[in-house]
Amino acid sequence: MRWTRGEADVMRLLAEGKLQKVTGSAADGTGWLERSGRTLQTAQAIVDDPDSAFILAYDAARHACTAVLAHQGLRPTTIGGHYVVEEALRAQFGDVFRGFGALRRRRNEIEYPMRPGDDVASDEAAMAIKTSGLLLEAATKLMGSLSIF
């Protein structure tokens, strides 16, 4: 099965070198999902350190999203970076993965601050953990119906 929604975008990202095709064990997203779950648990365990918890929640979300691509036989390249993960998933699945984009943008603000004191509040970290959990759940549900491009 090939995805009709977003296929042109995925093919463009492949042609631009932002995504690449993978096969064999690299095309099994299961390991990424497991890593996402472990990372999410760690984020939950350190919620009293909001900055670190947010970054880990973002990483958990990124791993879950990367799992979906891997299961399709795709992976982001250094040219595409984290943004191409969002771009490819939103092209194919719409707003299901919208939360990842918000986490990605905020993570960039945290990692590359423009203003001193732009720290993460505890409730923001908790929301990031919740969003990451929802993304992990969505990715897990999708995995059963995906096929390689």
Asked if residue 116 is part of any domain, the answer here is yes
Asked if residue 149 is part of any domain, the answer here is no
Domain with 132, as residue range(s), is 7-143
Asked if residue 17 is part of any domain, the answer here is yes
Signed CA dihedral, 132, 133, 134, 135: sign only: positive
Whether the per-residue pLDDT at 2 is higher than 60: the answer is: no
What value does the CA radius of gyration of the chain take, rounded to a whole number of Å? 15
Check which CATH number belongs to the domain holding 97 and give it. Answer: 1.20.120.330
Asked if residue 47 is part of any domain, the answer here is yes
Could you give phi then psi for residue 20, rounded to 5 degrees?
Answer: -135, 155
More confident residue, 58 or 5: 58
pLDDT 10s digits, 17-71:
999 999 999 999 999 999 999 999 999 999 999 999 999 999 999 999 999 999 9
pLDDT 10s digits, 67-116:
999 999 999 999 999 999 999 999 999 888 999 999 999 999 998 888 87
**Prediction pTM value:** 0.91
Angstrom CA distances, 86 to 42, 43, 44, stand at: 23, 21, 23
d(CA 66, CA 64): 5
Asked if residue 108 is part of any domain, the answer here is yes
Asked if residue 71 is part of any domain, the answer here is yes
Whether the per-residue pLDDT at 120 is higher than 50: the answer is: yes
Q: How many domains does the chain have?
A: 1
pLDDT of residue 3: 59
Asked if residue 49 is part of any domain, the answer here is yes
Whether the per-residue pLDDT at 14 is higher than 60: the answer is: yes
Asked if residue 2 is part of any domain, the answer here is no
Q: Which residues, including other chains, have CB under 8 Å from residue 81's CB and lie 6 or more apart?
A: none
Whether the per-residue pLDDT at 1 is higher than 50: the answer is: no
Helix (H, G, I), strand (E, B) or coil at 124: helix
